[in-house]
Amino acid sequence: MSDLHLKEMDKFKGRGGPLAFIILDGVGIGPESDDNAFYRAKTPFLDELITNCKDKCLFTELKAHGTAVGLPSDEEMGNSEVGHNAMGAGRIVKQRATLAKDSILSGNLFETEKWKNLTTRIIENEKTLHFMGLLSDGYVHSHITHLFGLLDGAAISKVGKIRVHTLLDGRDVPPQSALTYIDQLEQKLDMINGTHGFDYKIASGGGRMRVTMDRYYSDWDVVRRGWEAHVCGIPEQHSDYHGYFKSAKEAIKSARARDPEISDQYLPSFVIVNDGEEPIGKMNDGDVMINFNFRGDRAVEISQAFETENYGFEKKCDPMVKYYGLLQYDKKMDLPHNYFIEPPEVDDPITKYLCAEKVSQYAIAETHKYGHITYFWNGNKEGYVCEDYEKYVEIQSDPSEMIEENPEMKAEEVKNRFLDVLSTSNYKFMRVNFANGDMVGHTGNINAAIVSAEKVDQCVKEIVSKVLEHEGIAIVTADHGNLEEMGEGQETAHSLNPVMFNIVDSGYNNEYIINEDIEEPGLGNIGATILNLLGFEKPDTFMDSLISFNK
């Protein structure tokens, strides 16, 4: 890492204590209204902190969505993946969503030898092409237009039989919007079938948090339920829910009849059957499956189930299916082995520079955000950058279905571990993610979100106080918005709102202020700011710092 050494600043050498970087995941700056859980919550410490930082010109708002975090347009909400990418990379990273859109909608993907060979084999062997992924326009894990583009590409390639396995969202889009997307998909399939005489149908599905899309090995039963529905044609069955239906619409309506308040993300698995009550999309030897999600974290486990022996459930069927990802989801594990689009990667995230300078680093989060504070922060790379100078800690999360009833989550445990380590003075740069704002915001329960905000306020107060005791600096910021825009308790998606950025410096003597020359400050400006506060000049690859030093 000799080529990554940084130049020390002449004007500022940092402080004697640590630099603590505190991420309030999913806490944006929204209108002061009844829909804003952060505004309604009692957060005296953060309220005072923001006021004080504004008075000292150590506060600014950061753009955390759209083009500021590498997404295709400013209509796209930010998310934890792209937010941590931008913060850790010190720049705007062209994201998977943008790469997928460009490749599919331009038609370039369908000109590749990989696509041509795949479709030729399917046609010659009279096999079925399966598409599986999140059916919405949330643009966090997927986009429905990408699926439509893939269907068009398959039709042009003369693939005659396709089955679509729909994972329903209700998390990055309104909580009961699945029928809208199912209707759009059915119209698309009908149009292709009518034009070409093909056999394109929806075969199975379920809610994303109930079926298939587990992450960080939180609950393998989620993946098992997906495998059984998509691959084996076996749905969940209950006394009042038989799991087999003639259409996806019928399945969703049946689940809602059981629980009128159920969010789409928790819908049980379903399987579509023909008039003979046989599953229409059960997979067979020689079939091909394409996962059309572009984001990796919730695609890893299902990819392992298709490609490796490392999966955590007993399979009820195991046909020889050729599996492809839209992109590669995990480079270190080579998952999946077959994919169409090269994923983005950052060669020189901030961690590499700090490793080159032998700066000791500590990162902690509970399971739901552990991958963000490590993998995504480090430019989409698994594991340690330099284990001699880094320590990563994961606090095990409760299952997602427990969050609404336990909105404090593991914030207390995360805070306590962070304080214990801070007291040792072993680490110079320490980062922590509090997952509550985002994860509780996704439940749509504004009362739970208020509780979560109040808990985070208490935890941040203790951390900042301890940092100041140790003569350090604390940065308090966020990666994207969510709980500040909840629409009378029914809005579960992220927002387009900016996020806060505050600096609390134990030894502040007007050496620097917020840099007013940056026209549109964003998350990508954070990396250079961290380096400045540690006493280093930024490298050329980083965007400008959020602070400027007084002459």
- List pLDDT tens digits, range 260-282: 999 999 999 999 999 999 999 99
Torsion, Cα of 461, 462, 468, 472 (10° steps): -100
Helices and strands per DSSP (H, E), number in the chain: 16, 17
Q: What pLDDT is stored for residue 419 in this prediction?
A: 98
Instruction: Name beta bridge partners: 392.
Output: 363
For the cut 50, the answer to whether the pLDDT of residue 489 exceeds it is: no
Please compute the mean of the pLDDT values over residues 426-448 and round it to a whole number. 96
Structure token digits, residue 246: 């003639």
Same domain, yes or no, for 286 and 407? no
Same domain, yes or no, for 247 and 375? no
For the cut 60, the answer to whether the pLDDT of residue 1 exceeds it is: no
Let me know if residue 498 belongs to a domain.
yes
DSSP-assigned states of every residue in 231-274: II-----BTTB--EESSHHHHHHHHHHH-TT--GGGPPPEEEB-
Q: What pLDDT is stored for residue 321 in this prediction?
A: 98
Same domain, yes or no, for 242 and 221? yes
- Which distant-in-sequence residues (6+ apart) come within 8 Å of 144 by Cβ? 135, 136, 137, 181, 184, 185
* pTM (predicted TM-score): 0.82
- Which pLDDT band holds residue 161 (cuts at 50, 70, 90)? very high
- Which distant-in-sequence residues (6+ apart) come within 8 Å of 290 by Cβ? 129, 130, 131, 132, 150, 324, 325, 326
Please compute the mean of the pLDDT values over residues 487-491 and round it to a whole number. 61
**80 tagged catalytic:** yes
Q: What pLDDT is stored for residue 309 in this prediction?
A: 83
- Which pLDDT band holds residue 536 (cuts at 50, 70, 90)? very high
Structure token digits, residue 506: 């134990």
What is the Cα–Cα distance from 360 to 322, expressed in whole angstroms?
44
Structure token digits, residue 423: 């007291």
Residue numbers of the domain that contains 210: 113-341
Let me know if residue 106 belongs to a domain.
no
Domain boundary among 308, 341, 374: 341
- 2, 33, 80, 495: the catalytic one is 80
For the cut 90, the answer to whether the pLDDT of residue 401 exceeds it is: no
- Which pLDDT band holds residue 75 (cuts at 50, 70, 90)? very high
Percent of the chain with pLDDT over 90: 93
> Which DSSP letter does residue 229 get?
I
Let me know if residue 104 belongs to a domain.
no
**pLDDT, the chain, mean:** 96
Let me know if residue 103 belongs to a domain.
no
Same domain, yes or no, for 187 and 49? no
Domain boundary among 306, 326, 341: 341
- Which pLDDT band holds residue 490 (cuts at 50, 70, 90)? low
What is the Cα–Cα distance from 88 to 319, expressed in whole angstroms?
41
pLDDT digits (tens, 9 = 90+) for 204-217: 999 999 999 999 89
Q: In 528-540, which positions are buried (b, 16+ CB within 10 angstroms) versus exposed (e)?
A: bbbbbbbbbebbe
Please compute the mean of the pLDDT values over residues 3-20 and round it to a whole number. 95
> Nearest-CA neighbor of 549 among 505, 492, 519, 493?
505
Please compute the mean of the pLDDT values over residues 444-456 and round it to a whole number. 96
Let me know if residue 143 belongs to a domain.
yes
What is the Cα–Cα distance from 9 to 266, expressed in whole angstroms?
52
DSSP-assigned states of every residue in 309-325: S--SS--S-----EEEE
Domain boundary among 290, 317, 341: 341
pLDDT digits (tens, 9 = 90+) for 43-61: 999 999 999 999 999 999 9
Same domain, yes or no, for 306 and 395? no
Same domain, yes or no, for 196 and 210? yes
- Which pLDDT band holds residue 488 (cuts at 50, 70, 90)? low
- Enclosing H/E stretch for 412: helix 411-422
Hey, how many other C-beta atoms are within 10 angstroms of the C-beta on 410?
22
What is the Cα–Cα distance from 463 to 421, expressed in whole angstroms?
11
Residue type at 538? K
Let me know if residue 102 belongs to a domain.
no
Let me know if residue 196 belongs to a domain.
yes
Q: Is 126 exposed, middle or buried (0-12, 13-18, 19+ CB in 10 A)?
A: exposed
Helix (H), strand (E), coil (C) string for 109-175: HHHCHHHHHHHHHHHHCCCCEEEEEEECCCCCCCCHHHHHHHHHHHHHCCCCEEEEEEEECCCCCCC
Q: What pLDDT is stored for residue 327 in this prediction?
A: 97
pLDDT digits (tens, 9 = 90+) for 84-140: 999 999 999 999 999 999 999 999 999 999 999 999 999 999 999 999 999 999 999
Residue type at 247? S
Same domain, yes or no, for 495 and 532? yes
The answer to whether the CB of 507 falls within 8 A of the CB of 513 is no
Residue 223 belongs to domain with CATH number = 3.40.1450.10
Q: How far is CA 32 from CA 27, 64, 436, 485, 542, in A?
A: 13, 19, 20, 10, 34
Same domain, yes or no, for 411 and 512? yes
- Which distant-in-sequence residues (6+ apart) come within 8 Å of 81 by Cβ? 95, 140, 295, 297, 372, 376
Same domain, yes or no, for 375 and 396? yes
Phi, psi of 200 (to 5 degrees): -115, 120
23 Cα distance to chain centroid: 15
Q: How far is CA 416 from CA 138, 421, 460, 461, 463, in A?
A: 35, 9, 11, 12, 9
Same domain, yes or no, for 87 and 145? no
Q: Is 419 exposed, middle or buried (0-12, 13-18, 19+ CB in 10 A)?
A: middle
Q: What pLDDT is stored for residue 332 in this prediction?
A: 85
Structure token digits, residue 184: 């759009």
- Enclosing H/E stretch for 364: strand 361-366
Same domain, yes or no, for 231 and 284? yes
Hey, how many other C-beta atoms are within 10 angstroms of the C-beta on 176?
20
Residue 394 belongs to domain with CATH number = 3.40.720.10
Please compute the mean of the pLDDT values over residues 351-369 and round it to a whole number. 97
178-196 vs 144-156: helix axis angle to the nearest 10?
A: 10
What is the Cα–Cα distance from 156 to 149, expressed in whole angstroms?
11
- Which distant-in-sequence residues (6+ apart) come within 8 Å of 46 by Cβ? 457, 460, 476
- Which distant-in-sequence residues (6+ apart) come within 8 Å of 275 by Cβ? none
Q: What pLDDT is stored for residue 331 in this prediction?
A: 86
Let me know if residue 199 belongs to a domain.
yes
pLDDT digits (tens, 9 = 90+) for 274-326: 999 999 999 999 999 999 999 999 999 999 999 988 789 999 999 999 999 99
What is the Cα–Cα distance from 120 to 112, expressed in whole angstroms?
12
- How many structural domains compose the chain? 2
Same domain, yes or no, for 451 and 538? yes
